[in-house]
Structure 1
Amino acid sequence: MIKAPPSPAVRMLDSMSETPLAFMIATFVVLAVFFVVDLFVVGRKPHVPSTKECLQHIAFFVVMALIFGGLLWFFAGAKPAVEFYSGWLTEYSLSIDNLFVFVIIMANFAVPRELQKYVLSIGITVALVLRGLFILIGAAIISRFTWVFFIFGAFLIFTAVKLVMGEDDDEEYHENVVIRALRKVVRITDDFDGEKLRTVKDGRRFWTPMLIVFLTIGTTDVMFAFDSIPAIFGLTKDPFIVFTSNVFALLGLQQLYFLLGALLDKLVYLPAGLAVVLGFIGVKLVMEALSGNSLPFINGGHPIEQVPEVPTWLSLAVIVVAIGGSALASVLKMRSEPDAQAKLTK
């Protein structure tokens, strides 16, 4: 029996990863099961999850991520495991920050609360597909053109500066050009009809606002990918670790949305923590690019041979301290406010 040759994506993963192929395949199968159950079995029933349900789901996926990192350490070594933990924490933190935008979108389109879980499940699915494509493209580019790290690094440093300056704070949602153009060419009702995209009103067929919500979430996810993919490639070049970090960051995100929905605006220091992480990774990427490429205005146009290498453990330490410190500072500030105390006890 002649075996079919592996696909180009599988060959690239196998060549760029330190993880055994059998372990990668088993991981993809388990993650696919997790993803389907989380979004299309548990998440299929339109309802507002209770605090207990949210905590159980989030705790389960956090524990699974920790266990996966331990298995990765056993099968592939300490370096890939530390890279995974670093990438997962970074992507999870970025996902929490992105929940601010989801809250604004849901409020702007007045999505009924019992339908928000369904909308999030579709949005997260779109995010996973887009990130998977971006990871494959990014890995292919990086393997051939290491100078792209200059662009990634500069973009992350620019994003960090915007976070520090507060220019990334969205007080309200503004429809992009795609959504505005769509409104001009199709009939859209003002009211939702459950999960339906199409409905009948006065004998005529209309699109419901659900179509606009899905397109808005999808186009927003593209912008999220521009932040997250360069950040994770600054911590590891292994596409398997990049992908699994993103998947574990997305699992349980809809429960996190409901758990933190009323308190997201209280995490006032999270952008500062993210700015430190993104700025650190941006500098790390530029340093890596300098070690293997040349610029006409640096070192006489010759590559710098003695650029210090940032160890993986240091990246993890910076991420833990920055994100953990910003979260703790936000909680302490929240507890010092009487109105926040009332929200926490509800």
Structure 2
Amino acid sequence: MEFLFADWLGTPVWFWLSFIGVVAGLTALDLGILHKEDREMGIAESLKLSAFYIGLALLFGVWVYFQKTASLGAEAGADLALKYYTAFFIEKALSIDNVFVISLIFTYFAIPAKYQYRALLWGIVAVIILRGIMIGVGAAVVQQYHWVLYIFAAFLVVTGIKMLFAGDKPMDIEGNPVIRFISRHMRVTKELHDQHFFVKVPDEKTGKLVRAATPLFLALVVINLADLVFAVDSVPAVFAITTDTFIVYTSNIMAILGLRALYFALAAMVHRFHYLKYALALVLVFIGAKIFVADFLLDGGKFPPLLSLGVTAGLIAGGVFYSLWKTRGQPEPNWPADKGPEPAGARLDQLPGDRAH
């Protein structure tokens, strides 16, 4: 029992085990019960499930407050809870951009809506592992070299400024080097095989059954690559808010857990959030700048967490409402990847060295 109360990365082991248990239980419930059969999720169901995940994330913040208060005191508990909510809102807002990219990926590979949820769910499982590795490495580096936070802060400020002035650049799925590598070195079917990522198909030369990837697997790979790109912004942003590894990881994962549910509600109207990216750019600049303000202008004092949460939530809410108001009445644009009802895997023919079957 002593093991459960031992600290690991600054937090008792039972904290970590409780969180992992919640995540595992939600994933099993989602995959094994709620969506045991592949089907298309409607907008109403998507909104209800999203509300459930957001409510759960907010309640988790309350749990963090009480548990941290019990072990560290009321002031520390309130401080960490506010930092958790700030990090959660930032990650949740950044995920809206991720929704647009995921939509392009599914459209490019012509993945029907009824198979998209399963791909997203397994993508979330991979993200939980990959984010854990990134955050673990980041926490170890920050703990040893505090000055790395200044690099994170400067990176966020520069990234935010670039986002303010950068135009809309669609993701180059066809030119992705990983997809080109897979198409050269793996057998890839030109058609989907239900929800399967790999299937057995006859070899063209020998006629023997061999394993081949499906377009659904390629879509899953690109989705995870896209998340790694987004993590380059979001993970440093959370470390700029707090270096508590438990808060960094749980805020990221709680925001990502509801992404698959939120996707189906937002995918049909993601064009309505066009101006949110400018608000997110300002959030990144603010989060990065407050590191320098706290260490150099406040003589190492803490930037008020309630003010940080208020500014972050205000900017994100302003970006959402301004986008909805500015784009009212506008029709959904034709995205570059949406060129008609091509069969799944049809674009694999365009890749050099393709071994599609």
1:323, distance to aligned residue in structure 2 (A):
0.5
**Whole-angstrom distance in 1 between the partners of 2:122 and 2:229:** 16
**Structure 1, residues 121-150: CA drift from partner, whole Å, max 9, x if none?**
111111111111111111111111011112
Moved over 4 A (4+): 3-7, 20-24, 201-204
Please give the residue correspondences for 1:1-346 in structure 2 after superposition, counting only pairs within 5 Å.
11-13=7-9, 16-17=10-11, 22-76=14-68, 77-167=77-167, 169-170=169-170, 173-196=173-196, 197-201=198-202, 203=207, 205=210, 206-287=212-293, 291=296, 306=299, 309-335=302-328, 337=329, 339=331
8 Å CA contact retained: 2:4, 2:13: no
8 Å CA contact retained: 1:45, 1:118: no
1:166, distance to aligned residue in structure 2 (A):
2.7
**Whole-angstrom distance in 2 between the partners of 1:222 and 1:100:** 15
Q: 1:338 to 1:176 in 2, by over 3 A?
A: closer
**Whole-angstrom distance in 2 between the partners of 1:209 and 1:94:** 26
8 Å CA contact retained: 1:235, 1:281: yes
Computed over aligned residues only, the root mean square deviation of the Cα atoms, in angstroms, reads 2.5
TM-score (norm 2): 0.81
Q: Specify the code of the residue in structure 1 equivalent to 2:94.
A: L
1:71, distance to aligned residue in structure 2 (A):
2.2
Give the fraction of aligned pairs with identical amino acids, expressed as a percent. 34
Q: Specify the code of the residue in structure 2 equivalent to 1:322.
A: L
Unpaired segments ≥5 residues, structure 2: 69-76, 333-357
2:351 corresponds in structure 1 to none
1:284, distance to aligned residue in structure 2 (A):
2.2
Provide the secondary structure at the position in 2 that maps to 1:198: strand
TM-score (norm 1): 0.84
Q: Specify the code of the residue in structure 2 equivalent to 1:244.
A: T
Unpaired segments ≥5 residues, structure 1: 292-303, 341-346
8 Å CA contact retained: 1:149, 1:286: no
2:342 corresponds in structure 1 to none
**Structure 1, residues 276-303: CA drift from partner, whole Å, max 9, x if none?**
1111111123445x55xxxxxxxxxxxx
8 Å CA contact retained: 1:273, 1:323: yes
**Whole-angstrom distance in 2 between the partners of 1:239 and 1:168:** 33
Q: Specify the code of the residue in structure 1 equivalent to 2:118.
A: Y
1:239, distance to aligned residue in structure 2 (A):
0.9
Provide the secondary structure at the position in 2 that maps to 1:66: helix
Q: 1:153 to 1:44 in 2, by over 3 A?
A: farther
Q: Specify the code of the residue in structure 2 equivalent to 1:170.
A: P
1:301 corresponds in structure 2 to none
**Structure 1, residues 248-305: CA drift from partner, whole Å, max 9, x if none?**
10122112111111111221111011101111111123445x55xxxxxxxxxxxx88
**Whole-angstrom distance in 2 between the partners of 1:4 and 1:80:** 25
**Whole-angstrom distance in 2 between the partners of 1:179 and 1:328:** 37
Provide the secondary structure at the position in 2 that maps to 1:45: coil
8 Å CA contact retained: 1:130, 1:225: no
1:306, distance to aligned residue in structure 2 (A):
2.6
8 Å CA contact retained: 2:98, 2:227: no
Provide the secondary structure at the position in 1 that maps to 2:121: helix
1:297 corresponds in structure 2 to none
Kindly tell me the number of residue pairs found equivalent between the two proteins: 318
**Whole-angstrom distance in 2 between the partners of 1:182 and 1:26:** 38
8 Å CA contact retained: 2:272, 2:323: yes
8 Å CA contact retained: 2:279, 2:316: yes
